[in-house]
Amino acid sequence: MSDVPLFLSRRWLAGRKSLPRARGPWALDSGGFTELSTYGRWTLTPVDYAAEVRRYAGEIGNLAWAAAMD
């Protein structure tokens, strides 16, 4: 990842077996707009999203904040 603060979509990270390590702060976008416009509904539960956020925070590190499922 970059030294520059990033705003990444969970859709870009979802399904990856290995994740990069952050060198700087970053924020997680829920991907809600794309999810709802593509499928017309959420394809994951709030519990699953929370589990993904915990995984990304632990494995990538330096997570500044995560957007709510909007």
Chain-centroid distance of CA 66 in Å reads: 7
Beta bridge partners, 27, equal 7, 65
**Where do the structural domains in the chain lie, given as residue ranges?**
6-66
**pLDDT of the residue at 22:** 92
Backbone angles phi, psi at 2, to 5 degrees: -100, 160
Instruction: Please state the pTM of the whole predicted model.
Output: 0.88
Backbone angles phi, psi at 50, to 5 degrees: -60, -40
**pLDDT of the residue at 69:** 93
**pLDDT of the residue at 16:** 92
pLDDT, averaged per 10 consecutive residues of the chain (70 residues), comes to 81 92 94 94 96 96 95
